[in-house]
Amino acid sequence: MRVPYCLLAIALLPSAALANDTMADLKTGGLTYVQTLDVEMVKEDLFISRDEVRVDYVFRNTTDKPVSGIVAFPMPDITGGMNENIAMDDMQADNFLGFSVTQDGEPVNVELEQRAIANSLDVTDALQEQDVPLLPFADATAEALADLDDDVATDFKERGMLFNDVYDDGDGMKEHRTPIWTLRSAYWWKATFPPGRDIHVSHRYKPSVGGTVAVTFLDEGKPQGERFEDYKARYCIDDAFVKATQKLPPPSDDGQTLYTEAWISYILTTGNNWGGPIKSFTLTVDKGDPRNLISFCSTGVKKTGPTTFRMMAEDFSPQKDLEILILQHRPDE
């Protein structure tokens, strides 16, 4: 069974609804070690669901001396824009994924590094000089941009940091300053790995879950077209998955659907940033409801419960990132 690394839940509406009803997921991943390859990942236990990503690691210093360096968790880029539709539960907080980490069971005090990029240039200082928050979709950011002096706003526009969205809301023409810079964030902390002792590190966060209200890979109920080929490659959907999808209830007369679509992406390839392959790797995916359908690219996947699927590997060097597809039953139906 092949399966991609991302979660997806799919609804049964015409594909024309995609443009307005699609929400993009943000790619997240695991920890990276940015200084040395003398520390190997002995074990990685990765759990992914719509509600939580849990990763438990065991690291080992392979030298005879303490090794110190920086461990980092790269947050996904956030790019502003009028038409951006990103799956974020918290648009206001810098820690928009609710990231936390422990080492040997104790909380780790982490630092947050954030930079704003526009036209490939770092514009962080320019925004901070004007007391403009860096998170593009935060309410405080919109308020700060609205209060900018016109000459500063013109300068920001010329530098590709914002644009003026002009529209008529029925009460006359309005102008809204819209941020278009990209926020790049990473949590990091200093870590020391002593020789001869395993270090246990765990981190948790709420994943970005994208989706759409349409069954996007079926065309008039049939597996055909460019989007089907994309899903087939991305999520490794097979004939059994397609047939199960075709048996799902159709939309009601008022357009309501019993199933919806959601996505989660996970960057697995950061596991290659440590010293050698992952000695023991376990992936567990929870589809959330026994009625849901799921597909993702992998080998040796086994069903371990009503909603869980597991893949295990030794000396694992991930070659591609994770995309999981779930057709999700509406919980309110």
CATH number for the domain harbouring residue 229:
2.60.40.3680
pLDDT band for position 10 (cuts 50, 70, 90): very low
In a shared domain, residues 174 and 231: no
Full 3-state SS string of 236-303:
CCCHHHHHHHHCCCCCCCCCCCCEEEEEEEEECHHHHHCCCCEEEEEEEEECCCCCCEEEECCCCCEE
Query: Which residues lie closer than 8 Å to 94 by C-beta, 6 or more apart?
Result: 112, 114, 134, 135, 185
Which of 21-25, 78-82, 119-123 holds the top average pLDDT? 119-123
65 and 88: one domain? yes
Q: Indicate whether 314 and 185 sit together in one domain.
A: yes
Average pLDDT over residues 89-95: 78
The residues, ordered by sequence, that sit 6+ positions from 308 with a Cβ below 8 Å of its Cβ are: 284, 285, 286, 287
Residue 3 lies in a domain: no
Are 24 and 104 in the same domain? yes
Say if residue 68's pLDDT is above 80.
yes
Q: What are the φ and ψ backbone dihedral angles of 331, each rounded to 5 degrees?
A: -70, -20
In a domain, 240, yes or no: yes
> Do residues 215 and 288 share a domain?
yes
Same domain, 111 and 202: yes
Inter-residue contact 202 to 108 (CB < 8 Å): no
Q: Is pLDDT of 135 > 90?
A: yes
Does a structural domain hold residue 10?
no
> Over the range 213-224, which residues count as b (16 or more CB within 10 Å of their CB) and which as e?
bbbbbbeeeebe
- Confidence category of residue 88, pLDDT binned at 50, 70, 90: low
Of residues 51 and 92, more confidently modeled: 51
Is residue 100 domain-shared with residue 155, that is, in the same domain?
Answer: no
Mean pLDDT within 242-251: 85
* 265 belongs to a structural domain: yes
Residue 35 has what pLDDT? 54
Asked whether residue 170 is domain-assigned, the answer is: yes
Q: What is the dihedral of CA 47, 90, 320, 11, to 10 degrees?
A: 80
Q: Is residue 64 part of a domain?
A: yes
C-alpha dist (Å) from residue 69 to 31, 188, 302: 13, 10, 37
Number of domains in the chain: 2
State yes or no: pLDDT of 111 exceeds 70: yes
pLDDT of residue 172 exceeding 90, the answer is no
Lowest mean pLDDT among 84-98, 140-154, 302-316: 84-98
pLDDT of residue 125: 96
Kindly indicate the confidence band of residue 155, based on its pLDDT and cuts at 50, 70 and 90: very high
Query: In this structure, are 231 and 324 located in the same domain?
Result: yes
* Domain match, 210 and 265 both: yes
Most confident of 23-27, 33-37, 203-207: 203-207
Is the same domain home to 296 and 191?
A: yes
Average pLDDT for residues 292-316, to the nearest whole number?
94
Question: Taking 90 as the threshold, does the pLDDT of residue 281 lie above it?
Answer: yes
pLDDT of residue 273: 76
Predicted local confidence at residue 11, as pLDDT: 26
The confidence score (pLDDT) of residue 83 equals 59
pLDDT at 213: 74
Q: Does pLDDT of 23 surpass 50?
A: no
**Residue 1 is assigned to a structural domain of this protein:** no
Domain housing 158: 124-180
Q: How confident is the model at residue 259 (pLDDT cuts 50, 70, 90)?
A: confident
Residue 248 has pLDDT above 50, yes or no: yes
pLDDT at 89: 65
Residues 252 and 297 in one domain: yes
**44/153 same-domain check:** no
Provide the pLDDT for residue 239.
92
Residue 221 lies in a domain: yes
**pLDDT the model gives residue 169:** 65
pLDDT confidence tier of residue 217, bands split at 50, 70 and 90: confident
Asked whether residue 34 carries a pLDDT value surpassing 70, the answer given is: no
